[in-house]
Amino acid sequence: MSKVKSLFIGPDGLRHGWRFLIFVAAIVLLVQFLEQPAIAFLEAKLHVDRSALSASSIILGDGFDLIVVLIVTGVFALCERRRIDSYGLPINEAFGGLFWNGVVAGLAVVAFVAAGMLVTGGMRIHGIALRGTDLISSPLLWLVGMLLVGVTEEYFFRGYALQSLWRGAGFWPAALITTALFAVLHLLKPHENAIDIEMIFALGLIICISVRITGSLWWAVGWHAAFDFGQFVIIGTPNAGRLPEGRLFDVTFPGPAWTKRGELGTEASYFMIPAALGTFLYIIWFLRRRSPGLKA
């Protein structure tokens, strides 16, 4: 085999690094030329404001994102003669024990950060913000939206993308590269700063470790969905300068910036540092005992 050919072809065919790049490029192209026009069309038809931090906006955007990720992953699974759910998201484990374990862990992080903000004066609760049927409909819509976020983001960053690099370069290079991509894409949001991106990077690595230990993405999906539901619906914290519409409580955030980071919200709060450390220790000490681990 020539040296040039060996750069692209290995013992298993096309090298996994190239597969990763093609995977990401395919998603970017589909989002740019198919998803965005479709969303713009439906946004006008359904009168959904994509600039708002609302359940309907998230359902529309992440619903299409999930379709794109499933299509591209399905094509790669077909080429590799594997099932589409074989990249860490087995359908027979959907919303099972690992998922609910992740939900509890995610809500525990939210409860810890909220308690810290309340004690230090970084957050004040003035009552219930929802009335009548909105008390049921709004949280349910948000629940659907957060489940879509959890499944979509985890399957994109920690599904085929993580496994393709894992098989080619090992776990840690794969985890660092996919987590860096995860953090960099968050820079597209306005008002981002160093502590927010650093925390997102740290959480991304912790979630990668959970995938390695549990052998599944379902714990990560549960944690991700519960954490976002907690910060947007229960706490009602701002994100990228926007207040979530349909949040449960009427809250204000008058305290010092280090408690809630102003327009950035929960992810950039300094209380997330011990919360993230606690999540890491929980994964290492407790999830390891019950989990077989994932081998890409």
Both tokens of 69, joined, read: 């990720």
3-class SS string, 169-227 = HCHHHHHHHHHHHHHHHHCCCCCCCHHHHHHHHHHHHHHHHHHHHHCCCHHHHHHHHHH
Q: Domain range spanning residue 11?
A: 3-290
Q: Are strands 9-10 and 13-14 parallel, antiparallel or unpaired?
A: antiparallel
Residues forming a β-bridge with 13: 10
pLDDT in tens, 90-120: 999 999 999 999 999 999 999 999 999 899 8
Q: Of 150, 115, 132, which Cα lies nearest the Cα of 224?
A: 150
Q: What is the pLDDT of residue 263?
A: 58
Averaged pLDDT for residues 261-289? 83
pLDDT in tens, 148-207: 999 999 999 999 999 999 998 999 999 999 999 999 988 777 666 777 788 999 999 999
Report the number of distinct structural domains present in the chain: 1
Q: CB under 8 Å to 218, separation ≥6 — which residues?
A: 89, 90, 93, 94, 95, 96, 98, 99, 102
Q: In this structure, is residue 245 part of a structural domain?
A: yes
Q: In this structure, is residue 295 part of a structural domain?
A: no
pTM of the prediction? 0.92
Averaged pLDDT for residues 251-272? 74
pLDDT in tens, 49-63: 888 999 999 999 999
Output the average pLDDT for the chain: 89
- CA angle at 210 for the pair 235 and 279, rounded to the nearest 5°: 40
Q: What is the pLDDT of residue 264?
A: 59
pLDDT in tens, 15-36: 888 999 999 999 999 999 999 9
Q: In this structure, is residue 260 part of a structural domain?
A: yes
Q: In this structure, is residue 63 part of a structural domain?
A: yes
Q: What is the pLDDT of residue 229?
A: 97
Q: In this structure, is residue 145 part of a structural domain?
A: yes
Q: Of 178, 191, 170, which Cα lies nearest the Cα of 243?
A: 191
pLDDT in tens, 142-151: 999 999 999 9
Q: In this structure, is residue 32 part of a structural domain?
A: yes
Q: In this structure, is residue 296 part of a structural domain?
A: no
Beta carbons of 73 and 84 less than 8 angstroms apart: yes
Q: What is the pLDDT of residue 290?
A: 58
b/e for 83-96, b at 16 or more Cβ within 10 A? ebbebbbeeebeee
Beta carbons of 117 and 271 less than 8 angstroms apart: yes
Q: In this structure, is residue 131 part of a structural domain?
A: yes
